Amino acid sequence: MDRLCCLLLVSLSVVSAQFVPPYTEECQTGMYPPKGPTFKGSVTWYTIDLDLPPSERWKLIITDKKAEVRVLHVLFPLIVDTLPYPFNEEIKGIATSSGVPLGEVVLYNIFYEIFTVCTSLVAEDSNGNLIHGRNMDFGLFMGWDMKNRSWLITEKLKPLVVNIDFQRRNKTVFKSTNFAGYVGMLTGIKPHAFTLTMNERFSLDGGYIGIVEWILGNRDGMWMSFLTRSVLENATSYEEAKNLLAQTKLLAPAYFILGGNQTGQGCVITRSRVLSLDIWEIELKLGRWYVLETNYDHWKEPLFLDNRRTPAMKCMNQTMQANISLKTVYDVLSTKPVLNKLTTYTTLMDVNKGKLESYIRDCPNPCMPW
Ligand SMILES: *[C@@H]1O[C@H](CO)[C@@H](O)[C@H](O)[C@H]1NC(C)=O
Ligand SMILES: *[C@@H]1O[C@H](CO)[C@@H](O)[C@H](O)[C@H]1NC(C)=O
Ligand SMILES: *[C@@H]1O[C@H](CO)[C@@H](O)[C@H](O)[C@H]1NC(C)=O
Ligand SMILES: *[C@@H]1O[C@H](CO)[C@@H](O)[C@H](O)[C@H]1NC(C)=O
Ligand SMILES: *[C@@H]1O[C@H](CO)[C@@H](O)[C@H](O)[C@H]1NC(C)=O
Ligand SMILES: *[C@@H]1O[C@H](CO)[C@@H](O)[C@H](O)[C@H]1NC(C)=O
């Protein structure tokens, strides 16, 4: 089953069941600080102590979020022991403290790789500061509620969003926006060094082959969000992060959006399972002061049913480099259809200030399903 094909099938069924016209709007302004109908709530901070044994690390978060983790009823047993350390042990610890069957926690930890569409961007302001923003759009085709026009899983995931400060010896190593109980990383910052987000890459050339191979026992590739976790935890510079993200063999294609801590350090790494196909960097000399990725290779046109790239770029262009800030990036990420019914959270990061902030989102009607 190919993801692009699923997206098409779902879109057809959604559109035929309930016609939602493409809904786009003028670039938003003045949305920040977040308020009003597109802002559903703030995100709670937790600390994870990396000096604890992996199975102990998530106890507090899961104790708080037990009820929300338990609502995820899906089966996918026995893969945990095939996953590398420390992820296998962390996932077992989460299952123990939540009471959710292990197989379900495993599925929760890998289904991201299948059901998301997202928007990520890194922009450089006129002083050389880098701002990294992302919308996490999660829950594609996991049940469309026709009555109130929302995605069931997206709504269930919103209460699970947490910010985490990962520490060693009581000092921050990196920070992330996460779903409680999800041990990979989709959005994170290593303060004063780099920022990283991952977007799914729908691919006709083998999105699932690597995952099937993994289950069958051929395990030389790495889960994509485990790689981002390892990079945030253990890489110490933009260059090191870039090399690891570009060169590590993966189980499925992905986009890594990476920002550094000085001028020119922002890129989108387009990955196949084996290779980095392309590294697209900020290049001020060419007038490219930001890079922006949704879920399509930047050198190709996006799928006509799912074009969030053009509206996002239009708003970035309209904002202009001189006005780039957390505030204006939030405005861009608040403009429909960049903001859509799948948008679970928005995260804004400022590497030099070591700052990560995130907001739970809502997209009042009229609003595109994705
Ligand atoms: C959608 O409907 C369900 C049940 O009918 C409700 O629990 C949920 O909160 C609603 N979601 C929104 C966004 O209104
Ligand atoms: C971390 O801080 C806590 C409370 O402030 C303290 O009890 C603990 O000993 C500290 N741990 C380390 C490794 O410094
Ligand atoms: C990071 O490196 C440390 C030390 O080598 C290792 O114990 C830890 O498991 C690594 N973390 C990840 C997520 O790979
Ligand atoms: C940028 O990152 C490098 C590598 O981590 C570090 O050596 C340097 O001090 C950082 N620069 C700033 C301005 O934080
Ligand atoms: C935004 O600006 C860039 C650089 O000038 C240009 O290539 C791109 O076509 C513009 N996109 C939109 C949607 O305005
Ligand atoms: C953006 O920057 C330009 C040039 O610095 C300025 O004239 C304009 O007022 C700014 N616009 C906004 C919305 O801040």
Cα 203–Cα 103–Cα 346 angle in degrees, nearest 5: 55
Q: Which pLDDT belongs to residue 109?
A: 67
Which residues form the domain of 303? 45-53+118-361
- Domain assignment present for residue 275? The answer is yes
- Domain assignment present for residue 32? The answer is no
Radius of gyration of the chain measured on its C-alpha atoms? 19
Q: What's the gap in Å between 269 CA and the centre of ligand 5?
A: 20
Overall size of the chain counted in residues: 370
Q: Whose CA is nearest to atom 2 of ligand 1?
A: 148
Residue type, position 254, single letter: A
CA 45 to CA 177: how far, in whole Å? 9
Residue type, position 246, single letter: A
Q: Which pLDDT belongs to residue 11?
A: 47
Which of 2-6, 112-116, 334-338, 343-347 shows the lowest per-residue confidence on average (mean pLDDT)? 2-6
- Domain assignment present for residue 61? The answer is no
Q: Which pLDDT belongs to residue 89?
A: 87
Q: Which pLDDT belongs to residue 294?
A: 94
Confirm whether 118 is a catalytic residue: yes
pLDDT digits (tens, 9 = 90+) for 140-165: 655 677 777 887 778 878 999 999 99
Total domains in the chain come to 1
- Domain assignment present for residue 96? The answer is no
Q: Is the CB of 265 under 6 A from ligand 4?
A: no
- Domain assignment present for residue 225? The answer is yes
* Whether residue 22 has pLDDT greater than 70: no
> Considering Cα of 238, then 170, then 93, then 177, what sign does the dihedral take?
negative
- Domain assignment present for residue 305? The answer is yes
| Phi and psi angles of residue 255, each rounded to the nearest 5 degrees, phi first | -115, 130
Better-predicted residue by pLDDT, 20 or 229: 229
Q: Which pLDDT belongs to residue 166?
A: 98
Interval 18-37 mean pLDDT: 80
Q: What is the CATH number of the domain that holds 304?
A: 3.60.60.10
CA 149 to CA 358: how far, in whole Å? 24
pLDDT digits (tens, 9 = 90+) for 224-276: 889 999 999 999 999 999 999 999 999 888 999 999 999 999 999 999 988 99
- Domain assignment present for residue 70? The answer is no
> Considering Cα of 161, then 167, then 171, then 173, what sign does the dihedral take?
negative
* Whether residue 200 has pLDDT greater than 90: no
Q: What's the gap in Å between 353 CA and the centre of ligand 4?
A: 12
Q: What is the DSSP letter of 294?
A: S
- Domain assignment present for residue 199? The answer is yes
Strand segments (E) across the chain = 39-42, 44-49, 116-124, 130-138, 144-145, 150-151, 161-168, 171-179, 187-190, 194-200, 254-259, 266-271, 276-281, 290-293, 343-350, 355-361
Give, in order, the Cα–Cα distances in Å from 252 to each of 80, 105, 153, 290. 18, 20, 23, 26
